[in-house]
Structure 1
Amino acid sequence: MLRYELSGRGSPVLVLLHELGGSLESFDGLMPQLEAHFRVLRYDQRGAGGSEKPRLPFSMADHADDLDQLVTALGLPTPLFLAGVAAGAAIAVAYALDAPQAVAALALCAPALTVERDRVDYLAARSELAVTEGMAAIVDGSLERSYPLIMQRDPATYAAYRSRFLANDPVGYAHANLALAHVQLEPRLEELRQPCLLLAGTHDLLRPPQTVAPLAARIGHGSFDVIDSGHLMPVQAPEEMGRQLVNFFAAARRNALVRAS
Structure 2
Amino acid sequence: MQSTSFFTTGDGARIAYRFDGDASLPTLVLSNSIGTTLHMWDAQIPALTRHFRVLRYDTRGHGASSVPAGPYSLDRLGRDVVELLDGLGIASAHFLGLSLGGIIGQWLGVHAPERIERLILSNSSSYLGPAPQWDERIAATLQASDITETAEIFLQNWFPAAMLEAGGPAVEKFRGMLLRTDKHGLAGAFAAVRDADLRRTIALIPNPSLVIAGLHDTVTAASHGEQMAATIPGARLVVLPAVHLSNIELPQAFETAVLEFLLAA
Instruction: Compute the TM-score of the two structures, normalised by the length of structure 1.
Output: 0.90
Distance 1:113 1:218 in 2: 10
Distance 1:123 1:104 in 2: 32
Q: Secondary structure at the match of 1:93?
A: helix
In the TM superposition, residue 190 of structure 1 has moved relative to its aligned partner by 1.2
In the TM superposition, residue 208 of structure 1 has moved relative to its aligned partner by 2.6
User: Match of 2:172, as an amino acid?
Assistant: A
Distance 2:156 2:220 in 1: 14
**Alignment correspondent of 2:6:** none
Equivalent runs, 1:18-57 vs 2, <5 Å: 18-57=32-71
- Answer yes or no: is the 8 Å Cα contact 1:7–1:35 preserved in 2: yes
Distance 2:50 2:171 in 1: 26
Distance 2:233 2:132 in 1: 33
User: Match of 2:202, as an amino acid?
Assistant: L
Equivalent runs, 1:130-145 vs 2, <5 Å: 130-133=141-144, 134-145=146-157
Distance 1:154 1:195 in 2: 37
Residue deviations 1:226-250 (CA, integer Å, cap 9, x gap): 1132111222222221111111101
Distance 2:70 2:243 in 1: 32
- Give the one of 133, 136, 150 matched to 1:125: 136
Distance 1:56 1:106 in 2: 28
- Give the one of 97, 116, 127 matched to 2:110: 97
Equivalent runs, 1:233-244 vs 2, <5 Å: 233-244=246-257
Q: Secondary structure at the match of 2:71?
A: coil
Structure 2 portions without partners, runs of 5+: 1-13
- Answer yes or no: is the 8 Å Cα contact 1:87–1:113 preserved in 2: no
Are the structure 2 counterparts of residues 19 and 105 from structure 1 closer, same or farther at C-alpha, using a change threshold of 3 Å?
same
Distance 2:175 2:47 in 1: 24
In the TM superposition, residue 75 of structure 1 has moved relative to its aligned partner by 1.3
Residue deviations 1:40-67 (CA, integer Å, cap 9, x gap): 1110010001101112322010011110
Q: Secondary structure at the match of 2:97?
A: strand
- Give the one of 177, 182, 186 matched to 1:173: 186
- Answer yes or no: is the 8 Å Cα contact 2:21–2:50 preserved in 1: yes
In the TM superposition, residue 11 of structure 1 has moved relative to its aligned partner by 4.3
Q: Secondary structure at the match of 1:16?
A: strand
Q: Identify the structure with the greater helix proportion.
A: 1
- Answer yes or no: is the 8 Å Cα contact 1:47–1:54 preserved in 2: yes
- Answer yes or no: is the 8 Å Cα contact 1:12–1:77 preserved in 2: no
User: Match of 1:144, as an amino acid?
Assistant: Q
Distance 1:127 1:211 in 2: 23
Distance 1:189 1:112 in 2: 11
- Answer yes or no: is the 8 Å Cα contact 2:126–2:228 preserved in 1: no
2:80 aligned with 1:66: yes
Instruction: Compute the TM-score of the two structures, normalised by the length of structure 2.
Output: 0.89
Distance 1:138 1:186 in 2: 28
Residue deviations 1:197-231 (CA, integer Å, cap 9, x gap): 11111221122323311321222220101113211
Number of equivalent positions: 249
Residue deviations 1:163-189 (CA, integer Å, cap 9, x gap): 111110011111111111100012112
2:122 aligned with 1:109: yes
Distance 1:113 1:11 in 2: 31
Q: Secondary structure at the match of 1:3?
A: strand
Could you say what the CA RMSD is over the residues aligned between the two structures, in angstroms?
A: 1.6
